[in-house]
Amino acid sequence: MAERALAVPRVSALPYLLSAPGLILYAVCLVAPLAMTALLSFYTFTMATGISTSMSLANYAEILADDYFHTIFARTFGMALAVTLISVLIGTPEAWILHRMNRRWRAAFLLVILGPLLIPVVVRTLGWALFLGRNGIVNRTLTELGLVTTPIEFMYTFTGMVVALTHVLCPFLVLAVWANLQRMDPATEAAALSLGASRTRAVLRVVLPQIMPGVLSGCLIVFTLAASAFATPAIIGGRRLKVAATATYDEFLNSQNWPLGAAIAVLLLVSILTIVLVWNRAVERRFAASFQG
Amino acid sequence: MTEAEGPFLRVAGLTKRYGEVIAVDDLALEVSRGEFVSLLGPSGCGKTTTLQMIAGFVEPTGGHVLIGGRDMVRVPPNKRNIGIVFQSYALFPHMTVAENVAFGLEMRKVPSAERASRVRAALEMVRLQGLEARLPRQLSGGQQQRVAIARALVVQPDLLLLDEPLSNLDAKLREELRVELRDIQRRVSITTILVTHDQSEALLLSDRVAVMNHGRLEQVATPLDCYEKPASAFVATFLGRCNLLPVARNGAGGLQLGPATLPVAPDTPASGALALALRPERISLVAEGAGILPGTVRAALFNGEQWLFRIETEAGEVQVTRANDGAPAAAQGTRVGLAWDAASARVLPVGENGAARG
């Protein structure tokens, strides 16, 4: 430490120089477009004149006042919440089972779990559409077995979007929980058993609390990705069931109302950031004592 | 529980196979109530697997584990009433010291008032009063170890299993905790099995030592007997230092050791390769021509407490230690005689390749 302290003043510019390429890339590729989008959201738009650079809060006022946008935002976060909850319910046991598997099976199942992430989003979503669509395998089987008379609607439904998004986002939760499980001392579970806890009690009282940080950070990843998802809602929800991301796209490309689209995007970003920060703060406060350092 | 006649813990024919590999091979061990027995052996000798089978975490391929006369093999680990101290301590990181210790009582549905007083007593026993509200990671290794001991004992288990409990501590702390562990075990007089690869730990703590190698028990005896009367070359060399010098029966009915002829003791094995086991501290250096075996001092090493001599003889190199009494020692190159008391030497069978094997 002493040597480092002595050496620091002489090379104080070095860390900045070394990180400059990264910082420049970050500025050019992320900060600049975001700033431009934010700026754009304050411009005004009329059908007659198109975009003008006079600044106003009109776009935000419109979004906040219009029920149409309320529905879209409610749907966006409702969908994200549903995907997150289902991912937790499926992903946590999945990670636990994965953790208990022997090495060979684990490698195979890890591939199965990560599968959805390896398939391009359009292919995967169209696959779901083929599988669950009006004339899809599921509906045709059910109809032919006489279990249903009219096909179950999946396309252009909220359920459809939640199912397809859970499929692709659940792996993130599994990975977060699994990483947490690997850091856990397996002897703690054995200790709980030896002290008289049943298997269920040992999991609930000893394993689950230890993997909560993994579950919670996995939730955050899944929620953020679900709330900002575009391709899956675009294909399955289409223009009938818009979410914030697809609404933005529509304003930009169909209505040509770029400023309004930008305002939706900015509101989505701000809401997600707020949720992330509040969540993180809450998690840190709750687990700081036992899990840091 | 019923007071059983005979041994409190009885392990019979205990075997564990993993495919072709035999981890524990037909192990038999009897431990009386209140006794402290160590399972001692090198890593991979099956001692931990044995412990885990007693605890119920590993299902045996065959054999029985009886505690107080009751066969435990089909009993799940949470119904065995066994206290375990793990090598990693395995404290619950999200619970305070008090919550950790109270866990077993909570599982047994002990009322909260009694629970609190028993937790207090247990923490007092391991001298951790005042740290109830700390989290495990806020404690030193030694303190964590004590919490683990308190947590295992507070439920008043029938049996205490210690899995290399001191191996993660530094040498000085280890010595302190050894003494403390022994004191606590005596005070609560609980039947205890310690798994360790540290021979001095086993010798210091145990009433009896069970030396394991390759999944088998080589010897079960008091620490003194294990050291003084090792049953095999493996035990002789694993417990302390020991010279193993090849000997053979000669035509005249004696044992040939290099140029020397020794009388055959009545317990000498009738056939097979033999070695004379001789502790370095039991050999004395005498004048050339005297003693049993002549040799030349190849090295004389001094560590303050004692001298270590490496003596070249016709029977091979012999190590000799001598307590430092302040006098200068025999210098390198000196021709000496090696003498020992016949009672200090034992003739043991050795494997074909001379490896330590019982």
Could you read off the pLDDT of B290-312 as tens digits, one per residue? 889 999 999 999 988 899 999 99
At residue B301, φ and ψ (nearest 5 deg) are: -110, 140
Q: Is A170 exposed, middle or buried (0-12, 13-18, 19+ CB in 10 A)?
A: buried
Q: How far apart are the first and last CA of chain A?
A: 19
What CATH number does residue A260 fall under? Answer: 1.10.3720.10
For residues B199 and B193, the answer to whether their CB atoms sit within 8 Å is no
pLDDT at residue A50 greater than cutoff 90: no
Spans of chain B below 70 pLDDT: 1-5, 352-358
Q: How many domains, in total, are found in chain A?
A: 1
Closest residue in A to B86 (Cα–Cα): A187
B84 has which bridge partners? B161
Q: What is the pLDDT of residue A95?
A: 94
Read off the pLDDT band of A11 (50, 70, 90). low
Residue A278 located in a structural domain? yes
The structure tokens 């930008």 sit at A262
Residue A159 located in a structural domain? yes
Q: What is the pLDDT of residue A288?
A: 66
Q: How far apart are the first and last CA of chain B?
A: 39
Structure tokens at A142: 């059910």
What is the nearest CA distance from B30 to chain A, expressed in angstroms? 22
Q: What is the pLDDT of residue A9?
A: 55
What is the nearest CA distance from B277 to chain A, expressed in angstroms? 41
The helix/strand/coil state of B293 is strand
Residue A204 located in a structural domain? yes
Nearest to B354 by CA among B254, B250, B244, B243: B244
What is the nearest CA distance from A216 to chain B, expressed in angstroms? 15
Structure tokens at B200: 């001095």
Angle ∠(B37,B40,B42) on CA atoms, nearest 5: 165
Q: What is the pLDDT of residue A292?
A: 44
Read off the pLDDT band of A289 (50, 70, 90). low
pLDDT at residue A5 greater than cutoff 60: no
Distance of alpha carbon B134 from alpha carbon B130, whole angstroms: 9
- DSSP, res B325: -
At residue A254, φ and ψ (nearest 5 deg) are: -100, -50
* β-bridge pairing B216-221 and B9-18: unpaired
Please tell me which of the candidates B82, B94, B137 has its beta carbon nearest to residue A194: B82
Proportion of chain A above pLDDT 90, given as a percent: 60
The structure tokens 């989008």 sit at A37
Chain B residues whose CB is inside 8 A of the A288 CB are none
Structure tokens at B136: 């495990």
pLDDT at residue A254 greater than cutoff 80: yes
A197 and B94 within 8 Å at the Cβ level: the answer is no
Q: The pTM is what?
A: 0.82
Residue A221 located in a structural domain? yes
Read off the pLDDT band of A10 (50, 70, 90). low
| Phi-psi region at A156: left, alpha or beta (left = phi > 0; alpha = psi -120 to 50) | left
Could you read off the pLDDT of A70-121 as tens digits, one per residue? 999 999 999 999 999 999 999 999 999 999 898 899 999 989 888 888 888 8
Enter the ipTM.
Answer: 0.84
Select the residue from B82, B103, B161 to test the A interface by mutation, using most A Cβ atoms within 10 A: B103
A278 has which bridge partners? none
Residue A53 located in a structural domain? no
B90 and A195 within 8 Å at the Cβ level: the answer is no
B78 and A205 within 8 Å at the Cβ level: the answer is no
Q: Residue B221: which H helix or E strand, with range?
A: strand B216-221
Read off the pLDDT band of A151 (50, 70, 90). confident
The alpha carbon of A141 is separated from its chain's Cα centroid by a whole number of angstroms, namely 33
For residues B93 and A183, the answer to whether their CB atoms sit within 8 Å is no
3-state helix, strand, coil in chain A (%, to 5): 80, 0, 20
Residue A214 located in a structural domain? yes
Instruction: Taking the CA atoms of A193, A194, A197 and A202 in sequence, report the sign of the dihedral they define.
Output: negative
Q: What is the pLDDT of residue B173?
A: 87
Residue A160 located in a structural domain? yes
Select the residue from A102, A194, A199, A216 to test the B interface by mutation, using most B Cβ atoms within 10 A: A194
The helix/strand/coil state of B84 is strand
Arithmetic mean of pLDDT, A241-268: 93
CB atoms within 10 A of CB B331: 8
For residues A232 and A121, the answer to whether their CB atoms sit within 8 Å is yes
> Chain B 71-110, CB below 8 Å of chain A: which residues?
76-84, 86-88, 90-94, 103-104, 107-108
Q: What is the pLDDT of residue B273?
A: 86
Higher pLDDT pick, A137 / B206: B206
A193 and B77 within 8 Å at the Cβ level: the answer is yes
Parent domain of A227? 59-292
Q: What is the pLDDT of residue B103?
A: 97
pLDDT at residue A293 greater than cutoff 80: no
Closest residue in A to B161 (Cα–Cα): A194
CB pairs below 8 Å between A and B: how many? 74
Residue A255 located in a structural domain? yes
